[in-house]
Structure 1
Amino acid sequence: MENIIQIPYTPRPAWAKVLHKELSRHRFAVIVAHRRFGKTIGMVNHLIRDALQSDLISPQYALVGPFSAQMEIIAWGPLKYYTSVIEGIKVNETKKYVEFPSKIPGAQGARIYIVGANNPDALRGTYWDGVILDEYSDMKPEMWTQIIRPAIENGDRKGYCYFIGTPKGQNNFYEMYKKAKTNKRYFAYLSNVYDSGILDAKSIEELKEDMPEVEFRQEYLCDFSVSAINELFSLEELDKAFSRELTEKDVPYDMPLVQGADIARFGDDRTCIWRRKGLMAYAKPRIYKKLNTMQTADYIALAMDEHKADMTFIDVGNMGAGVVDRLRQMGYTALREIPFQGAAIENKRYENIRAEMYFKLKDWIEDGGALPDEPGLREELAVIHYKYSKNGRLILTPKEEIKEKLGRSPDLADGLALTFARKVPLRQLGFDDRKPKVLMCNTEYSIMGAI
């Protein structure tokens, strides 16, 4: 008698009538769908079905998203829930996979992994019988061409790969969709909010009313021709910045040494102190956790003295204001408090100081800025996107969204961006000391003809 396993999953009409059937017939597929379509849940259950039905020796499947922390939230929980009814299922919380009971004595059972594209090494050097690339727009094209494509070509075991996501302009996901529409080996599918029938007419009209037109067209009409949210730093730009190598000899002597200090707010947040001189950001920023106001001020003072910083910009959110007050009590004047949500100097272009700083960082990278290979920095910079506010000014991805994707606060990126908060005067010939006893000019640095 056949053992029937009832998974607590009720597919939406598009999945039941079209997608699950077509995916089973195709080795490659590209699915473009609007927000709230149920892309990830549908794919989780498709993998579960394939894992249960496979008669291969130790089959392996992976659901890959842009970031590990993000996938843990949106996919790991559902995978455990839908497989919890399977007798003998094993859950590995460390490596994020579930293992099904083996059908072959002595062999590993089928496994489904949840993986972040920010950890590509987890996907290398093995085989895959099926892979889902979720939100492929946010991944490097090399994830497919150099890692996944070779891994699903394993002798007689021809693994499959499906690309799913919502449009984000005409990027690698768009190119893959175009290819799928004309290539017989691929299945191509696009469903906007009017096609799917998932949302009622009233909900759709409310979304249109509350969202900028460009965002609605991209997120719910699946329009590749618009780009409501854009990556601030392209992957190519970051590759170049991290590959550049500069030393003190490459930086003009009169360039000021600028420090940026992002102050930890609570929990696992970090206080990060960066220093930058001209086109060179120094390696090994100072990183601290769980400091009180007095301790934070002491460590910033130590960095100011040791590096003879010409200016230190300090984030004054929450505890930062107290740190600035303490440093001034200690006699330090070469510092400036920066409220991230404060008004930008170029306030007709930028929504706030945070956006202005990051766009200056972007300009610096384009001009040849060199970034050190600090663990986590690339990931934090890559996840930052921008769009235009209703006032027509540039605004960045809210910090809360970044924390949700990364599983942590982007403290490294914020500390680096702070070194671009204001312009700082060039050093004067023979001037090489910035101890507290030396007073700084209180002039607004943004109006000085300086770097």
Structure 2
Amino acid sequence: MSAQEALKYTYQPRDVMVPFHNRKERWAVIIAHRRLGKSTALLNELIIRALHPRPDGLRQQFAIMCPFQVQARSVLWQMAKDYTNFLSKCPGYKISEQNLTVTLPDPKNVNRTGSTIMLLGAENAEKLRGLFLDGVVLDEFQDIAPYVWDAIIRPALADRQGFAVFSGTVKSFDNPLWELHQKASVPGSGWFSELLPVDKTGILPPEELEDLKRGMTEEAYAAEFLCDPNATVTGRILLPYLVQKQITKVPWQPDGGPVITAWDLGMSDTTSIWTAQTVGKEVHLLDAYEESGQPLSHFVDWLRKLDYAKYFGPHLMPHDTNVRELGTGVSRLQTLRSLGMRNIKIVPKLAKSDQIDAARMLLARCWFDNEKCAEGLRALRGYQFVYDKKRQCFSLTPLHDKNCLVAGTMVKLTHATVPIEQVREGDWVVTPAGRALVSFAGPVKRATELITVTLGDGRTLTGTPEHKVFTLDGLIELHSLKIGDTILEGKSPIWRLFRNGAKQIFLRLHALAAGR
């Protein structure tokens, strides 16, 4: 074999990847659109590095990791053999089909083996403990569990001071790849970072892009080809309803309304809390907190340390708060009251679809503190439906994972009650016929007479004589009520009957009560 034959290396980098190959930084992040040729560039980056020996002469070892080894085999293995085939006649060149490794000849003596390139899958990451690496590429890093890097790959680079490249396609804000890109984009970070949407690279012809747009949803095209983290991910329940410009610095306002807290207890013993303040038509989310393995006193203490601790309104609790625990015989409601919590309201249990609808409607008015609610926002964005593999579509059942608890807690804020003078146009209110949008809010006349009705539980209801309330006999004006009449509200089974689909019956009762 002549030297000329040994130098027939066929890789030609695309212009957009040349800065990546010429970088000097140890750490790099590449977010690229589909069909850019990213995997080709990453593999050849390792081949080029492997053909440059270390100054100390130590044998080098490199790896490219995909989420699954079968993915590495199908995408990269043949490519790895093709691009290194020009060295196949060298005695030091070895390949292993079983282990998916290519060993290149020593550049100083092609009769000896040199650096090795391994194709790995993250699903078998635990087997890689003890491995040393001079460099690694983590491809489709957004689909690799973060612990694989933290606990296994990063330590493997330590003694060799090896490099790492993280690459993939963006999947919203809340994944490790995008977080690394943001970290790397900070001036002086010491990272190389490149964001390569299709309108920047010019790789695909315009007519192909137009055809892609016609054949894909707008959200899928934005995510896969424009690298847009704002693009909706299919199956996400609340992500499309979050307003990005309403995620900013949101301070507590002393002249605003009382601060409402919404609690939930979910998987194992995890507890989550949102705090919110109503300011005009807006709902300001001030803090979000979640922790596991802690008693209720821990969360009460957390609330008491907040700047607005003296201005709490109702504390909204899940429907099962009053259930006694088998071990102690004491309910969580009793425990909270013993810790000094007052104004506790237990929200009714709603169908999951109703909870989701309520949260979606609420989000349009929500402003989130971008720092104090960061973990809560991560959960809201990640809350998604279960994917039905048999039917190949998303079901209407939310996935029960780490995101479901905080997202579920958010729903409880829709149960907060406010004085009628605080109801605004555009608010949603609960009526016997279901949720309804307020189209007008304000005084219509000055009342000359008011009637106060005292209920059996001691509560009072004050209104004008002609104000109608929902009773077992339909809508009755306040001045026509008699002792012994029953006023229905959200907790009654008949109320639920009407709001769950008997709207026409309700309307007929309304007509009868109005004398029409």
Normalising by structure 2, report the TM-score.
Answer: 0.44
Preserved contact between residue 77 and residue 119 of structure 2 (Cα < 8 Å): yes
Residue 177 of structure 1 pairs with residue 181 of structure 2: yes
Secondary structure (helix, strand or coil) at the match of 1:53 reads coil
Question: Cα distance, 1:126 vs. partner?
Answer: 1.5
1:126-137 maps to which residues of 2 (within 5 A)?
126-137=131-142
**Matched residue, 1:46:** 45
Q: Which structure exhibits the higher relative contact order, with contacts defined as CA atoms closer than 8 Å and separated by 6 or more residues?
A: 1
Secondary structure (helix, strand or coil) at the match of 1:75 reads helix
Cα distance change on mapping 1:207 and 1:366 into 2, 3 Å: closer
Deviations 1:392-437 (A, max 9, x none): xxxxxxxxxxxxxxxxxxxxxxxxxxxxxxxxxxxxxxxxxxxxxx
Question: Cα distance, 1:145 vs. partner?
Answer: 1.1
Residue 100 of structure 1 pairs with residue 93 of structure 2: no
Secondary structure (helix, strand or coil) at the match of 1:162 reads strand
Question: Cα distance, 1:184 vs. partner?
Answer: 2.5
Residue 6 of structure 1 pairs with residue 8 of structure 2: yes
Between the aligned partners of 2:119 and 2:396, the Cα distance in structure 1 is 33
Between the aligned partners of 2:169 and 2:197, the Cα distance in structure 1 is 10
Between the aligned partners of 1:142 and 1:366, the Cα distance in structure 2 is 18
Between the aligned partners of 1:181 and 1:92, the Cα distance in structure 2 is 39
Between the aligned partners of 1:350 and 1:146, the Cα distance in structure 2 is 30
1:42-191 maps to which residues of 2 (within 5 A)?
42-55=41-54, 56-86=57-87, 87-88=89-90, 89-102=93-106, 109-154=114-159, 157-170=160-173, 171-182=175-186, 183-191=188-196
Between the aligned partners of 1:8 and 1:83, the Cα distance in structure 2 is 9
Cα distance change on mapping 1:352 and 1:113 into 2, 3 Å: closer
Between the aligned partners of 1:126 and 1:142, the Cα distance in structure 2 is 16
Preserved contact between residue 183 and residue 189 of structure 2 (Cα < 8 Å): no
Normalising by structure 1, report the TM-score.
Answer: 0.50
Question: Cα distance, 1:5 vs. partner?
Answer: 2.0
- Which one-letter code corresponds to 1:39 in the other structure? K
Between the aligned partners of 1:214 and 1:122, the Cα distance in structure 2 is 38
Deviations 1:161-218 (A, max 9, x none): 0001110112111111111111532111001101001011111111111110000100
Preserved contact between residue 58 and residue 107 of structure 1 (Cα < 8 Å): no
Question: Cα distance, 1:57 vs. partner?
Answer: 1.5
Residue 194 of structure 1 pairs with residue 196 of structure 2: no
Question: Cα distance, 1:104 vs. partner?
Answer: 7.5
Between the aligned partners of 1:47 and 1:220, the Cα distance in structure 2 is 25
Cα distance change on mapping 1:230 and 1:141 into 2, 3 Å: farther
RMSD: 3.2
Preserved contact between residue 132 and residue 162 of structure 1 (Cα < 8 Å): yes
Between the aligned partners of 1:142 and 1:161, the Cα distance in structure 2 is 15
Residue 354 of structure 1 pairs with residue 391 of structure 2: yes
Preserved contact between residue 57 and residue 108 of structure 1 (Cα < 8 Å): no
Deviations 1:35-56 (A, max 9, x none): 0011110011110011011234
Between the aligned partners of 1:124 and 1:101, the Cα distance in structure 2 is 26
Preserved contact between residue 69 and residue 116 of structure 1 (Cα < 8 Å): yes
Gaps of 5+ in 1: 233-239, 242-348, 369-451
Structure label with greater radius of gyration = 2
Between the aligned partners of 1:95 and 1:352, the Cα distance in structure 2 is 30
Cα distance change on mapping 1:206 and 1:356 into 2, 3 Å: closer
- Which one-letter code corresponds to 1:14 in the other structure? V
Cα distance change on mapping 1:96 and 1:364 into 2, 3 Å: closer
Deviations 1:134-164 (A, max 9, x none): 000001111111111111111xx21000001
Secondary structure (helix, strand or coil) at the match of 1:110 reads strand
Question: Cα distance, 1:103 vs. partner?
Answer: 5.4
1:51-450 maps to which residues of 2 (within 5 A)?
51-55=50-54, 56-86=57-87, 87-88=89-90, 89-102=93-106, 109-154=114-159, 157-170=160-173, 171-182=175-186, 183-229=188-234, 354=391, 362-363=399-400
Cα distance change on mapping 1:353 and 1:150 into 2, 3 Å: closer
Between the aligned partners of 2:117 and 2:388, the Cα distance in structure 1 is 43
When the two structures are aligned, how many residues end up with a matched partner? 249
**Matched residue, 1:26:** 25
Cα distance change on mapping 1:59 and 1:231 into 2, 3 Å: farther
Gaps of 5+ in 2: 238-266, 269-385, 406-516
